[in-house]
Amino acid sequence: MKALSMTKLLIATLAWGLIITGCSESEKKGSSAEPGFKVESLTEEGWLYGHLPENTVAYARLPNPWGSFSQKDDSFKYALGNAEHVKVVKQIQQGVYDNILTKLDKQAKPLAELYFEHTKGPLELAFVNQNAGQPIIYVGTRLDYDKVDGFKQALTSATQGMPNAKLLDGNKAGQGFINMGPGMVIYYHFDVSDQRLTLISGMGASVTSLEKAAESIKPNEQHEMLALEANIDSSHQGLFAWVSPKNAMPLMQMGMPPQELQKLKELGVDQANGLALGYGVSSGKTRLKLILDMPDVGVRRFIPIVDNKIDAKAVGEVKWAGIMSLPTSEQAQRIAEHLKALGEVNYDSWEQLNSGFESEVGLKLDVLLNAFGPEVVVFKDEIGTFASTRYSNTNIKKLLLKAQEEEVKVDYRAYEKNGALIHHLRVAMNQLDAKPSSAEIGPEIGAMVLNNYHENYFWMLEGDQVVFASVPQLLLERHSQKDRRSIADWFKQQQGDGYQSSLLNFTATVDDLSRTSYHYYLELLIMLADLSGTSIDLVSLPMARELGFPDKGTVGVSLSSGKEYLGLEFTFENGATDVMVGAGGATTVAVIGVLAAVAIPAYQDYTVRAQTSSAMYTAEAIKAQVAMSVVEGTKIEDIDNGYGEIGQPESYRSGMIEKVVVNDGVITVHLSNPSLGYGPQTVVYVPMFNGKQISYWDCSGGTLAAKYRPARCK
């Protein structure tokens, strides 16, 4: 391991939280009173989500075309749920029916009318694994027909334009089959009592099997999908998709090569309970969220499990706050052991790695990892911008003592003023390894500037917290103010409890976000009225102050890793357009963009590297076969593809491997993932001999970039 500069370690440890983005100040306001009028809904929630068979492989929900105009339990609840708004949207709906749908051709018109005019719930689909191996597809929605005859007439009209479609009545009213041709039958049932429509079909499914499948639709409040759905869209109306990898494994085994299945199992896919993606309303906020429900296996072993306990306090109102969860020494040890098992790191034990770090740097890795954190909170309040975290005084002293031993120019001082003890660390920056050449900026002036420049860090201690600021005046003013607010409570109010498992999190509040969004929404209604050829009374709609809007709206982004879930979430007050609405919107977009620019490429590199490491298992098996052949007396020049149990090059083809060429015992793995870059991507394993036996393999050859290689092959 290359020796590290103590100055760099010290600065990285003390200054990680001081690079922040400011927001504009805003006037503190009270909250609007909640309106007393009753809310109405234009559309209804789905129903199939609560009736899923246990062997469901996947579920998807498409919102009703009018669902965006119907009230849900968020900040727009009263804006969309008041009677005048419902009346205005119904006028626009009628304009669409009268002036647009009537102009469609005869084949498209009946189906369009059924969907746009008579569907009042979302469209739900479920894919259920049957014993025969072919999935059965369930479709559910709600229609506004109050009599079976009205439904049958609409269904007859809709199927008349479908080639080869033939209606067959069943044994009950509103029940029957649609024969679409050889091997394709659709079961339908419209229950007029609750206005639920059910469609069931499957490739090659018989009438009997479809009727039996219909009997499996029963209330199921314990289905494993429901917990993920509640995290994303508790309204049961928004966009939502879920798949159970472990339930899908029997289907994948039918058409996937064994090598591919083995890779999926190594990644832990066969033990993943569910993967969900959706855009909906949960805990009073609109959320765009991706969640993986997976135990601590496969890829999850390389990601720390987070349980944030935030003790930081703000002065007065919080403008915005961010969380970064640093790994503890225990978490680093756990991840390193898993990497060792994959051959990604070269050491015998964590103790050996810790001791090696101490011998090269001068202090144990444990000391560095446990000096601060693990939770780091950066926030802006009424005073200014601060960073706060828990600290270990013992470990900080070890860092400073080590710096003094190496004669690093670190100047530490403490100042006391107005009862506040301010700590100051001044670090000479001309000690960094990568310093600019004085020839580039002038020999004399450049040397003077470089020698005089210092980095300055200021902090004070509050209980078990250390609070950083860019200048001491911020800390002094903070000390003089006693109006403290828990940042953990602020996160809970703005986002719910999700902050507790955040690896990274940024949350901000924007003044009058909902009020501004409401005015833009009214402009949208005018535009839709014009397009649909109808007239609406916009003046009849309530003013913003009558609708109980919060004075501040929430926008945020979070990458979380809890005991149960791994997730990426964007939180909005009213919808995704919040990032572009109101003061502060541009700042939020910039912050999200910065986080995405850093996190997404890093995650992509990590994913590709994990896939590459998995592909190297194929090479390990061939290496063992080559080594065994040499032990048995075979000349290395005779060991090629086809020798013994070594397959032909293309027999190793998989999603990651194009082929594996063995020539004179040299193994060349040709990779085929587009994420690796342009041109041939190869890793070459060359056997190195000690006498007549292979002592080790040199895998530094080939064209694959070093960042994607196992540690031993760099």
Position 21 scores a pLDDT of 26
Structure-token pair, residue 61: 């929900």
Hey, what's the torsion of the CAs at 333, 335, 337, 339, to 10 degrees?
Answer: -140
Question: Are 369 and 332 contacting, i.e. CB atoms less than 8 angstroms apart?
Answer: yes
Position 692 scores a pLDDT of 84
**Beta strands at 484-486 and 313-315: parallel, antiparallel or unpaired:** antiparallel
What does the DSSP assignment read for 580-638? GSSTTHHHHHHHHHHHHHHHHHHHHHHHHHHHHHHHHHHHHHHHHHHHHHHHTT--GGG
pTM for the model stands at 0.72
Q: Tokens 């939020």 correspond to what residue?
A: 588
Q: How far is CA 664 from CA 617, 628, 639, in A?
A: 20, 14, 5
Position 329 scores a pLDDT of 78
Alpha carbons 587 and 194: distance in angstroms, whole number? 47
Per-residue burial over 599-633, b if 16 or more Cβ lie within 10 Å, else e, is eeeeeeeeebbbbbbbbbebbeebbebbbebbeee
Q: Which CATH superfamily is domain 607-713 in?
A: Glycoprotein, Type 4 Pilin (3.30.700.10)
Task: Characterise 679 by phi-psi region: left (phi > 0), alpha (psi -120 to 50), beta (else).
Answer: left
Position 6 scores a pLDDT of 40
At 82, which helix (H) or strand (E)?
none
Alpha carbons 510 and 54: distance in angstroms, whole number? 43
Position 582 scores a pLDDT of 47
Position 504 scores a pLDDT of 92
SS3 216: coil
Domain ranges across the chain? 607-713
Residues in the chain predicted with pLDDT less than 70, given as ranges, are: 1-33, 131-133, 254-255, 342-347, 357-363, 393-410, 429-453, 580-607, 610-611, 614
SS3 275: strand
Question: Are 711 and 343 contacting, i.e. CB atoms less than 8 angstroms apart?
Answer: yes
The DSSP symbol for 463 reads T
Position 497 scores a pLDDT of 83
- With 0-12 / 13-18 / 19 or more C-beta atoms within 10 angstroms meaning exposed / middle / buried, residue 417 is exposed
Distant-in-sequence, close-in-space partners of 176: CB < 8 Å, separation ≥ 6: 167, 168, 169, 170, 187, 188
